[in-house]
Structure 1
Amino acid sequence: MDTFMLVLQFIVLLAAIFLGVRLGGIAIGYAGGLGVVVLSLGLGMSPGVIPWDVILIIMSVIAAITAMQVAGGLDYLVQIAERALRKNPKKINYLAPTVTYLLTLFAGTGHTAFSMIPVIVEVAKEQNIKPSAPLALAVVSSQIAITASPVSAAVIFLSGVLEPLGVSYPLLLSICIPTTYLGCMIAAFIVNKFTHLKLSDDPVYQERLAAGLIKKTHASVQDKELPKGAKLSVLIFLLGVIAVVIYASAISDALKWIDPVIMKRDHAIISFMLAIATIITIACKLDVSKLVDTSTFRSGMTAAICVLGVAWLGDTFVRGHIEGITEIAQDVVGTYPFMLAVALMFAAMLLYSQAATAKAIIPAVIIALGITPENNGDVYIIVASFAAVSALFILPTYPTLLGAVQMDDTGSTRIGKYIFNHSFLVTGVLMIVLSVALGFLVAPFAIDLFGSVPAVTAAPQ
């Protein structure tokens, strides 16, 4: 009977996620809520924990970016990025993922990649390069950069979990930033060296060209006149991000510049981001009625609802079977540490969020591996595998992925009839594998050298 209920509950989990994927957009979150209703009221499971901290961090970061967008700051950043791409067009397979990686690292959300997609398409077409190559690299790198961004909900959550285990916030960033970026660049080298990139040889492109479907979109924003406060808004946001990093580092067990801690790390980023939004609104004299109409606000609030529904659904299932999951994790991950990355990839595919995936899986794995403040030898496995929570590209439903498909009028970026055979899968898996592999090389040594010796009574910041 227990096995039957487990199978039934798992079917409900998958069915809710599948329904959300079919409906698309914000409806992914709706379907997650429906799944919670069925699992709890229908099958007797206790509802899981709503990830309020993750949702509130997403909302606050989006609030600040929205203010910067209305002030013209995002257009200013896109102008800088476009200038770099057009100055070195033949290096687009390296520059495109670098630009989207840095935008995400700076902003804490991968949705900033939307602004670069038309530019990448046009520059690739001008160089007779299939846009599918730089687009796949750029979209996936923007997702992986979430696990290295100092203001992302995923990093803030994981740093709070790992702080008592000897991995401070600065140490986590010092491992994740170089390993994920280098993983993206090695993948770019492989794609650039070993794939056929000539656009004119693509039969789909030739068909669309013959049908008159290929048009020059003039995606350049170089000549666009920016509002007076554009550069100022970027400066304010940058200073705010620096303030977050300094404060989050200052309260870490490794530094303890601020002790006792009055404001926890997640509360700090929420309040700092709202403060940044306020300062930009005042300093740049924004029309606040325009804020809720921006693409950033809409995509950010959609992401928050998706995390609310899907992460709650995932947490409900995981908590209901935590003992079984713990036993499996002890046997599998304890013997084959890299299997944690595989599990995180699978969970990310379903949970649709790096932060939600980390919150649903990693605490259970820490318990399963018996990682404690006084026995933290395996904590490197968590850090090394962290990049795998970015596998949101496996199902071709993520907004930036769909946007790349729609904006590439050459037809080289496409989703096959078997769903999984799309332009992002191989490139994305390669980037994840390389990032995780580098993590397993770097994390053990970095933690041994720079990890703190936490007190047993330490609590997550």
Structure 2
Amino acid sequence: MSGDNVKFLVEAVVVLGCIVMGTRAGGVGVGLWGGLGTAVLVFVFREPPGEPPAAALAIILAVVTTAALMQAAGGIDWMVAMAARVIEKRPHQITLIAPLTAFVFSIGAGTSNIIYPLLPVIYDVSYRNHIRPARPLTVTVVQSGMALAASPVSAAMAAMLTLTDVAPYNLGLTQILAITLPACVIGIVVTSLVVNRMWLDLDDDPEVAAKIASGELAAPEAVAVTAPPTGAVAPTTSDTGEAPPASSALTYTAAGRNSALAFFAGVLVIVLLGLFPDLRPAFDVDGESVAIDMTTTIVMVMFTVGVAILFLGRPKVAEVPDQSVFKAGMISAIALFGIAWLTATFIAAHEEQILNTIGEWVTDWTFLFALAVFLVAALTTSQSTATRTIVPIGLAAGLSPGLVTGMWAGALSGVYTLPANGTQIAAANFDHSGTTKLGSKLLDHSFFVPMLIMSVVTVAVGAAIGAIVA
């Protein structure tokens, strides 16, 4: 084995070791270990430092700040209330309607946190209608893993754009959405249809029947409502003896509604400016007219929307750093910075070896790329980290950007491989019937099979669409 190959393997061990240690530390620890790995590659192995992900960070900071302003103004409460109304209109199709509705709002908000207050609504509606709550709850949770691949304002999309919307790939936002949106929708629909036939029906489950008989659980017709964590007051039982729908516990203000609509308008403007580059200002660069890039566009639009929310929603600016969206976004930014800098340094130093080794593997077994994204997402529970870690390797190995994008979207569901995410734990806790289980053997939880189905279907459909689009 040559000296270059030995150096490549040793540095690869350093990179993988830092990712594993960062995963064990969690949160900002991912970024810190990524920064340490970069320092080892630079100071110990004398590799030139790679390009820090400044563009991705700019997008994340702008979007997270504006989204947190919207949340402080009550915009998330309005979104949740609207989603709850949609879900309750067709209760018997809740296994399909709930995840699709959550998908739309996750796309618009750029975060999966929006599903938290929806979970008790989904449980209430399904249980009242004698539908096993685990069915809509698991699909709704799992879809949020890949919904961010279809959101123009998510951290994962920010990371992806900075990798593909450059020469020689030139795969912009609208092309990415043309691949990920239909692939994700098909993945959700197929998974919902399959999951709707999984497990025992609620009325046939002996564990549920035993809980009802013992008085531990109310019968479906008289189930009590657990108010979601929105600060609203839980409804009281009606004169008929039947508890009111869970959505009646969800309150919002006109300021919240206006803030959410302003945020959605900003998302729409970003999509339009990506779809029609001629709408973006262009400037002379070396005698050629060049439109401003999408990174700059997204940042400016989001800051403009943020100012609009200051007037429309009158949020308390001092409360913005305390919002859950802001905290989660800042953690993602730190984790992304460290791990992206590490992988950029490693790939730049060993691009030839990657093309000659990993490139051949991926060329012979294309779906190894999807498996790699899936595993990193499972280990780090971060879509943006999985994006910055594996997507550059797939592109450097010669896979077409369209194919990479299609497989990337479905593989992001790997974040739910282990039952350690907040949304999984919340769904299990809200399911008072006990049909949604976290398991005891890591992979025996209720989310595992739906996650596998959604990942496989979305990866396959995304790869097929990606091969056509780009």
**TM-score, length-normalised on structure 1?**
0.82
The residue type equivalent to 1:84 in the other structure is: V
Tell me what 1:455 maps to: none
| Preserved CA contact (<8 Å) 1:111 1:296 | yes
Deviation at 1:343, TM superposition (A): 2.1
Could you tell me how far apart the structure 2 residues matched to 1:128 and 1:18 are?
43
Contact 1:32 1:312 in 2 (8 A): yes
In the alignment, is residue 184 of structure 1 matched against residue 188 of structure 2? yes
Distance in 2, Cα, partners of 1:242 & 1:222: 29
Amino acid at match of 1:227: T
Equivalent residue for 1:454? Answer: none
CA drift of 1:337 comes to 2.4
Question: Where does residue 458 of structure 1 map in the other structure?
Answer: none
Among 360, 380, 387, the residue aligned to 2:409: 387
CA distance in 2: counterparts of 1:419 and 1:233, whole angstroms: 40
Residue 446 of structure 1: how far off its partner (Å): 3.7
Paired position in structure 2 for 1:248: 274
Alignment partners' CA distance in 1, 2:17 and 2:371: 21
Considering only CA atoms, is the larger Rg found in Structure 1 or Structure 2?
2
1:187 is paired with a residue whose SS is: helix
> Any idea what the Cα deviations from partners look like across 1:224-243, whole Å, max 9, x if unmatched?
44223122112211221111
For 1:100-249, list aligned pairs within 5 A: 100-159=102-161, 161-162=164-165, 164=167, 165=169, 167-198=171-202, 201=205, 203=207, 212=216, 216-219=225-228, 220-249=246-275
User: After alignment, is 286-295 or 392-401 more displaced?
Assistant: 392-401
Give the equivalent residue in structure 2 for 1:432: 455
Partner in structure 2 of residue 415 of structure 1: 438
Secondary structure of the 2:196 match is helix
Alignment of 1:293 with 2:322, yes or no, is: yes
Given that 1:251 and 1:258 are in contact with CA atoms closer than 8 Å, whether structure 2 keeps it comes out as no
Deviations 1:160-187 (A, max 9, x none): 5256436443233222211211111111
- Measured against aligned partners, the alpha-carbon deviations of 1:216-267 in whole angstroms (never above 9, x if no partner) come to 4134343544223122112211221111112222228xx9895734532112
Amino acid at match of 2:404: I
Corresponding letter in the other structure for 1:141 = Q
DSSP 3-state at the match of 1:422: coil
1:402-428: CA deviation from partner (whole Å, max 9, x where unpaired)? 433444444433333332333222211
Contact residue 26 and residue 306 of structure 1 kept, 8 A: yes
The question of whether the paired residues in 1 share the 8 Å contact of 2:437 and 2:446 is answered with yes
The structural deviation recorded for 1:432 is: 1.5
Deviates more, 1:16-25 or 1:188-197: 16-25
> In structure 2, do the counterparts of structure 1 residues 43 and 109 end up closer, same or farther at CA, with 3 Å as the change threshold?
same
Contact between 2:339 and 2:389, CA under 8 Å: does it hold in 1?
no
Within-5 A mapping of 1:283-432: 283-319=312-348, 321-369=350-398, 378-390=400-412, 391-432=414-455
Q: Name the structure 2 match of 1:450.
A: none
Over the matched positions of the two proteins, sequence identity in percent amounts to 28
Partner residue of 1:263?
292
1:389 Cα deviation from its structure 2 partner: 4.4
Q: In 1, distance between residues paired with 2:371 and 2:63?
A: 29
Task: Indicate if the aligned counterparts of 1:93 and 1:192 stay in contact, CA closer than 8 A.
Answer: yes
Unaligned runs of 5+ in 1: 372-377, 448-461
Counterpart residue number, 1:277: 306
* Cα distance change of structure 1 residues 356 and 79 upon mapping to structure 2, 3 Å threshold: same
Give, in whole Å, the separation in 2 of the partners of 1:301 and 1:410: 36
Q: Distance in 2 between matches of 1:263 and 1:442?
A: 28
The one-letter code sitting in structure 2 at the alignment partner of 1:108 is: G
Gaps of 5+ in 2: 219-223, 229-245, 284-288
Q: Distance in 2 between matches of 1:431 and 1:206?
A: 32
User: TM-score when scaled to structure 2?
Assistant: 0.81
Give the direction of change, closer, same or farther, for the CA distance of 1:17–1:159 in structure 2 (3 Å limit): closer
